[in-house]
Amino acid sequence: MNLFVLLGIAAVMVLIQQVLTRWIQLNRIAWLGIWWVALWAAFSYGINPPLPNSIIVLFMAIITIALMAYLSADNEELEEARQSIVRFMVAQEYRIALVIVLLVIPAAVAAWTYASMNEAPQPPSSGRTIHPPPPSSITFAGNSIDLATANNPYRELEHTDEAAFAAHVANGRRIYFQNCFYCHGDNMQGAGMFAHGYDPLPANFNDATTIAMLQESYLFWRIAKGAPGLPSESTPWSSAMPAWELFLTEEEIWDVILFLYEYTGYEPRAQGMPH
């Protein structure tokens, strides 16, 4: 959050309400316009890192609809607003203001067009799918693994044999730092030494919306098959993840999964349950 900007916007709003309204009578349309500008400024400049333009457009569309609903939810207020617009359009006293508005609107459009044409060229943005859906089963070293029912075979050691479990986690730690941390980073935030070279960036496992929401069999599939194993739907995936089945054994992959959850403190999503 950019608190300085947000407080500034709030201060201007208070000033308008407490000071400006002593001299100028602001009708409902003017107030709604002020609110619209204030919220646009808050979304555009009050949040750090900045929101993508697509999100600002979405939020402002919702706010515009809401403000329009507020304006028209009361018959008397709407009629008053309509009359004030008509007054502004026809009354002699507003002639100069009307001319200014009629000049400012096309000038603003022209300025916006000029500014957007002068922006540095960018590749088009697109809605990217984050979680590729896994197949129902995969083959690993010639054996078929059903992803709907597969469990980490070493997970139950957590309760039955703590020493053996700790050994598997330690093995997972070794594998992670030998193979994975170059991209996913030493604290699993997706900020490894090679990360800056990728688009999109490597997954951040500390994020509550990545491995915390997934079953272990899903992670097994992603690690084992990597980018070459991604489904044909929702392409391009733009993933640089290697197919680790070529370098690691099945046990090593399950071990590294244990380590990922152990390090981040998350629990894997359980299988099945409701019905």
Partner 1 sequence: MTTDSIPVVRTTCQGAWWRGLPAGLAAFVLLALVAGPAWGMPQEAAPEYRALPFISSRVLMWAVAELHLMFAAFVLAVPMFALVIEFIGYRTGDKRYDQLAYDFTKLLSVSFSFTATLGALLTFGLLVFYPALTQYLVKIFSWTFLPYVLLFFLEAFFLYAYYYGWGKLSPRLHLFIGLMLNLVGTAIMFIANAWLTFMNTPNGIDDMGNLTSLWEAINNYTWMPINIHRLIANVAFGGAIGAAYGAFKFLGAKTLAAKAHYDWMGYIGIFVAICALLPLPFAGYWLGVEIYAYDQSLGITLMGGTFSWLFIVQAVLIGNLFLAANYYLWLSMARIPGAERFRGFIKYLLGVITLCFIVWATPHSLVATVEEARAMGGSHHPILNVLGVMSAKNTAVNLLILTTYVSFLLYRRANKEATVSWARIGNWIQFGIFAVVVIYVVFLGVYGYFVDAQTRIGLSRPQVLSVLFAMASVTVIDLFLFKNAKSRGEIVWGKISARSQYALFFLAITFTWLMGLMGYVRAGMRQHWHVYGVMRDTSVDAFTPTLGFAGGVVSAIVIVFFLLIAIVFFLAGLSGRKDWTPKSGSRWNEEETTVSTEPA
* Contact footprint for partner 1 (CB under 8 A): 1, 47, 49-55, 58-59, 62-63, 65-66, 69-70, 72-75, 122-136, 147-148, 190-191, 199-201, 204, 207-209, 212-215, 217-218, 233-234, 266-275
Closest CA to 219 of 174, 264, 187: 264
The minimum distance between CB 95 and partner 1, in angstroms, equals 32
Contact 161, 168 (CB under 8 A): no
Our CB check for partner 1 shows the closer of 171 and 217 to be 217
For partner 1, the closer of residues 150 and 175 by Cβ is: 150
The answer to whether the peptide bond before residue 228 is cis (omega within 30 degrees of 0) is no
**Which residue, 179 or 189, has its beta carbon nearer to partner 1?**
189
Q: Minimum distance between the CB of residue 43 and partner 1, rounded to whole angstroms?
A: 10
CA angle 134, 139, 142 (to 5 degrees): 175
Complex with partner 1: residue 60 or 167, whichever CB lies closer = 60
Specify whether the CB–CB gap between 260 and 207 falls below 8 A: no
Tokens standing for residue 99: 């001319």
Closest approach, Cβ 32 to partner 1, in A, equals 11
Nearer to partner 1, 92 or 136 (CB): 136
Return the number of the residue (1 or 246) whose C-beta is nearest partner 1: 1
Length of the chain: 275
Q: How far is the CB of 177 from partner 1 (least distance, A)?
A: 22
Which residues fall within 8 angstroms of residue 58, CB to CB, at 6 or more apart? none
Map 58-108 to HEC letters: HHHHHHHHHHHHHHHCCHHHHHHHHHHHHHHHHCHHHHHHHHHHHHHHHHH
Closest CB to partner 1 among 68 and 110? Answer: 68
Contact criterion met (CB below 8 Å) for 239 and 230: yes
Are 239 and 226 in contact by the 8 Å Cβ rule? The answer is yes
Min dist. Cβ of residue 96 to partner 1 (A)? 33
- State whether the Cα torsion 24-29-33-38 is positive or negative: positive
Q: How far apart are CB 12 and partner 1 at their closest, in Å? A: 19
